[in-house]
Amino acid sequence: MKKLLFIGLLAFCFSCAENTPEVKVTNPEHYDKYLSTEQGNTYKNAMAERDFWSNKLSADTTGVGSLGALAGAYTTLFDATGNVENLYAAETLYKKGMANSAHNKDGFARGLARNYISQHRFQEAKTILEESYAGVSNKKATELMLFDVYMELGMYDKASEMLEKSKNLSDYNYLIRLAKWNDYKGDLDAAIRFLEKARDVADGRKSEPLQLWTYTNLGDFYGHAGRIQDSYWQYIKSLNMQPDNAYAKKGLAWIAYSGEKDTETASRILDSISVQHQVPDYYLLRAEMAEFNGETAKSEAFTQKFMDAVAKGNYGAMYNTYLIEVYAESNPKKALEIAQEEVQNRATPETYHLLALAQLKNGMEEEALKTIDTHVIGKTEEPMALYHAAMVYKANGLSEKVSPLKADLLEAEFEVGPVLYEKIESL
């Protein structure tokens, strides 16, 4: 089974946990030394960079020379801590750079667009990039970013056009996007091959940021392909290079939980992340693990912590897809409202299957069926989309359409996790 880059899988389902023995992949001797709960070097270095460029900016009478570097430091702080206020600080700086720069407006435009993508403000990112592309700009760099935003918006023909313009099989930035394109097209093997080529380029350049990004994403792709051992070692390689890498640790936690049914180890790994990198979605993974263990009250408490964190965190639309799934069970009308907003923001199979879920939970079975048939089936192989499609078909009495989807989903046990897997078995 395949799924797009950066899409999380968290299911909210009922299960009775049955802890069957699993083949052991993780070994604490490999990662225990990285589970420190103290602030890591990534945070400390980013703080030092922020302070350095803040001082430089104060001394720069033009007000422009240090803006990009300072915005980059705030972005790194966001990556290290999950504190969205750092993302907003970077946004302000990129806007100032666009307003005041005489020679690098397109560089600031790409920085702002990247920032908006992180905030899930995809339409605004598209507008900025298209305006920049039409003017004096670094065409290749802008084409690559336009590919990113077109993919997020479901504008796949335009994304393909930008990818073709950027074609260069020795270029790292092209290769990672070619991998994403092949993943979208459903060819996971090709996606992995191109990402491995990108890894080789990153290794040859000895570029730690590129290596880290590639290793962790290869860990994801290997997991989707059922290559759990390979996935594990990519995350370990990442931690060898950056011991406080939250993304790699979360990947290890998923292997412990989904691959080994070891929620104790998974929780211990998550504990080491949460001190430094505080984002709401960790509560959802904890809720899912509690559900797997049959601890319903604990699962509900973690879900509520997620809701509280999102409400307090000023995250904009960044957690809307998660909220739709939570509200689908507790407040279907609210789920439908958010799902309709998401489809307006970006009309992709990934948003449409959530709209279908919300429609189904509101008793709109026929509307949900139309949404699935028109916008989801044949357009994605992402497991949650197929699961929601199967739910809709079942609700409409179309058992002949449920069976092939169920067969496909049963092959994705590691990717979907044990809680959802049990729900799939009962389709």
Helix boundaries (H) for 313-396 = 320-330, 332-345, 349-361, 365-375, 383-395
Q: What percent of the chain has pLDDT over 70?
A: 93
Contacts 24+ apart (CB under 8 A), 64-72: 64/96, 64/97, 64/100, 64/101, 67/93, 67/94, 67/96, 67/97, 67/100, 67/101, 67/108, 68/93, 68/94, 68/97, 68/104, 68/107, 68/108, 68/111, 71/97, 71/111, 71/115, 72/111
Predicted confidence band of residue 139 (pLDDT cuts 50, 70, 90): very high
Angstrom distance (rounded) from CA 341 to CA 247 = 28
Note whether 47 and 247 are within 8 A (CB). Answer: no
Quick one: pLDDT band at residue 15, thresholds 50, 70, 90?
A: very low
Specify the pTM.
0.92
Instruction: Categorize the per-residue pLDDT at 36 as very low, low, confident or very high, splitting at 50, 70 and 90.
Output: confident
Distances (CA, A) of 345 to 90, 149, 153, 350: 22, 12, 8, 12
Q: Is the pLDDT of residue 324 over 60?
A: yes
The listed CATH number (1.25.40, 3.30.70, 1.10.287, 1.10.260) that belongs to domain 1-19+277-427: 1.25.40
pLDDT band at 17 (very low <50, low <70, confident <90, very high): very low
User: What's the per-residue H, E or C state across 186-199?
Assistant: CCHHHHHHHHHHHH
For residue 74, pLDDT over 80 is answered with yes
> What mean pLDDT do residues 249-259 have?
98
Rg (CA), the chain: 22
Tokens 């509690």, residue located: 290
The mean pLDDT value of the chain amounts to 93
Say which residue, 13 or 199, is predicted with more confidence: 199
> What is the b/e burial string over 169-195, where b = at least 16 CB atoms within 10 angstroms of the residue's CB?
eebbbbbbbbbbbbbbeeebeebbebb
Q: Which residue has the tokens 């990934």?
A: 350
> What kind and span of H or E run contains 124?
helix 122-134
User: Per-residue pLDDT averaged across 51-74, rounded?
Assistant: 84
Q: How far apart are the first and last CA of the chain?
A: 18
C-beta separation of 25 from 254 below 8 A:
no
Domain ranges of the chain: 1-19+277-427
From residue 298, how far is each of 2, 224, 426 by CA, in Å? 31, 29, 24
Q: From its phi and psi, is residue 46 left (phi > 0), alpha (psi between -120 and 50) or beta?
A: alpha
The model's confidence at residue 119, banded by pLDDT at 50, 70 and 90, is: very high
